[in-house]
């Protein structure tokens, strides 16, 4: 992901939201010829200390000035000036998620959480709510209905509580 994949916008009522426009990559099924999602995911402002749009803007403000509007989205954290000017790899992100989980009450439950858990839980909840498969594909960015079959397994313990 890159910073330029995200846009901060406002709806007709002036409520801010962030959109994510995923660019095709050579590692995606279909490669660089992959079609974009017909519906862009949106994250709306809620106000308060945990407002996702406010936190997104704060995140951008902590990045090196030359990487606030362009460049890799994930950067390694440092103490000052907050982030290094290099891409954070998928293995580093995986280790970060594991580290976060071990510092929470979830660690003692035996539930395995990964950087893919949120997507998997979302798909299962949408399917349980009888959302049409085509709508789920638009939300999650899956390539086809067939790719949703991986989520047809029995629900895991953390999916029940999420």
DSSP symbol at 36: P
Neighbours of 21 (CB within 10 A): 12
What does the angle CA 2 – CA 55 – CA 159 come to, to the nearest 5 degrees?
A: 85
Q: What pLDDT, on the 0 to 100 scale, is given for residue 29? A: 54
Q: What are the backbone angles phi and psi of residue 8, rounded to the nearest 5°?
A: -95, 125
What are the helix (H) ranges across 1-140?
A: 52-61, 90-102, 117-128, 133-140
Q: Where are the domains of the chain?
A: 1-87, 89-162
In 3D, which of 100, 97, 133 has the Cα closest to residue 116? 97
Q: At 40, is the pLDDT very low, low, confident or very high (cuts 50, 70, 90)?
A: confident
120: Cα within 13 Å, side-chain hemisphere: 17
For residue 132, the model assigns a pLDDT of 86
**Tell me: the pLDDT tens digits for 120-141?**
888 888 888 888 888 888 777 7
Note the pLDDT tens digit of each residue in 43-97: 999 999 999 999 999 999 988 899 999 999 888 877 666 667 777 777 887 887 7
Confidence (pTM)? 0.51
Look at residue 158 and give its three-state secondary structure: helix
pLDDT tens for each residue of 25-37: 555 555 556 566 6
Q: Residue 141: helix, strand or coil by DSSP?
A: coil
| pLDDT value for 37 | 65
Q: Is 155 exposed, middle or buried (0-12, 13-18, 19+ CB in 10 A)?
A: middle
């Amino acid at each position: 992901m890159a910073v330029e994949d995200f846009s901060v916008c406002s709806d007709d009522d002036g409520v801010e939201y962030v959109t994510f426009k995923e660019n095709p990559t050579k590692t995606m099924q279909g490669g660089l010829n992959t079609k974009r999602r017909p519906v862009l995911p949106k994250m709306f402002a809620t106000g308060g200390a945990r407002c996702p749009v406010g936190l997104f803007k704060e995140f951008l403000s902590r990045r090196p000035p030359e990487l606030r509007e362009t460049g890799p989205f994930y950067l390694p954290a440092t103490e000052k000036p907050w982030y290094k000017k290099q891409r954070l790899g998928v293995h580093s992100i995986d280790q970060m998620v594991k580290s976060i989980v071990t510092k929470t009450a979830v660690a003692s439950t035996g539930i395995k959480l990964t950087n893919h858990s949120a997507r998997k839980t979302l798909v299962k909840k949408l399917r349980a709510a009888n959302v049409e498969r085509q709508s789920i594909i638009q939300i999650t960015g899956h390539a086809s209905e067939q790719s949703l079959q991986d989520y047809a397994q029995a629900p895991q313990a953390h999916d029940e509580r999420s």
